[in-house]
Amino acid sequence: MVKAKSVEKKPQRSNDSRRKERESLILLHLIAAHGGAAAQKELTDRKVKCDPAERGPLQDAGLIRTMKRGRGNFIEVTDKGWDHAGRNLRTLLPEDAEGASAVLRVWLERLALFTAEQGKVLADVMASSAGGPVSESEPGAPPDDGVDDLPGRIRDAYLAVTGGSFNARALLKDLRPRLADVPRETLDAALIGLQRAGNAILYRMDNNATLTGADRTAALSIAGEPRHMLWIPK
């Protein structure tokens, strides 16, 4: 009688390995978002679990920051987070990652080689002509078009729209006319820079029924998602 060969069981993954994978996927999803930031609802819609227990270690390490936006949360990668991800691309995901994460780990290894060979940082690779993230040497810097103190002008325009109040929404369709002399690309880059610095939040209208043509025209696109409003905490 032929003895059946025993099948070697695959070792079970540790809880630490699974936790590391979940945290890294949160960070990678945020990095993939335009400007390195997204509403928590956007992550949830993409099936990325991002509750306080999941994102807490990333926040404690200073890799991400969470800000209130109305009733929801807005999460963005800090400069430290960009640097950490760029320096640890090969090991962000655990060696025993499975499924799509295992494939992503191979891609990250290749990306690490590319950035090293080209002398680039991760933010350079993720940048786009539409005003994406930039390297730490120029965090959130808008193009130099001769516009003086643009962040200050944006705040003044914001307060004019909101009636002098912070922690209030200002529709971009109302904000842009007050900065009509600023090239659109320059203004968009400055708005994204304020968001990256943690000084403002850009978000979309959740109720499409209230959107007007003017809202759509004035919207700023981030990772293919329109942003219709500006919120400045203070």
- With cut-offs at 50, 70 and 90, classify the pLDDT of residue 130: very low
CA quadruple 151, 152, 155, 156: dihedral positive or negative?
Answer: negative
Q: Can you give the pLDDT at residue 137?
A: 38
As a whole number, the mean pLDDT across the chain is 82
Q: What percent of the chain has pLDDT over 90?
A: 25
Within the chain, strands assigned E span 37-39, 64-69, 72-77, 169-171, 201-203, 220-222, 225-227, 229-231
Query: CB within 8 A of 142, min separation 6: which ones?
Result: 131, 150, 186, 187, 189, 190, 193
Q: CATH fold of 15-126, please?
A: Arc Repressor Mutant, subunit A (1.10.10)
In the chain, residues under CATH classification 1.10.10 are 15-126
**pLDDT digits 0-9 by tens, 34-59:** 678 888 888 888 888 888 989 999 99
Closest-CA residue to 38 (of 59, 60, 69): 69
- With cut-offs at 50, 70 and 90, classify the pLDDT of residue 9: low
Q: Can you give the pLDDT at residue 173?
A: 95
231 pLDDT above the threshold of 70: yes
- With cut-offs at 50, 70 and 90, classify the pLDDT of residue 5: low
Closest-CA residue to 192 (of 207, 166, 210, 172): 172
Does the pTM surpass 0.85? The reply is: no
- With cut-offs at 50, 70 and 90, classify the pLDDT of residue 159: very high
- With cut-offs at 50, 70 and 90, classify the pLDDT of residue 71: confident
Kindly report the backbone phi and psi dihedral angles of residue 212, in degrees, each rounded to the nearest multiple of 5, phi listed first: -110, 170
Cα(185)–Cα(148) distance, rounded to whole angstroms? 15
Q: Can you give the pLDDT at residue 34?
A: 67
Q: Which residues pair with 111 in a beta bridge?
A: none
25 pLDDT above the threshold of 80: yes
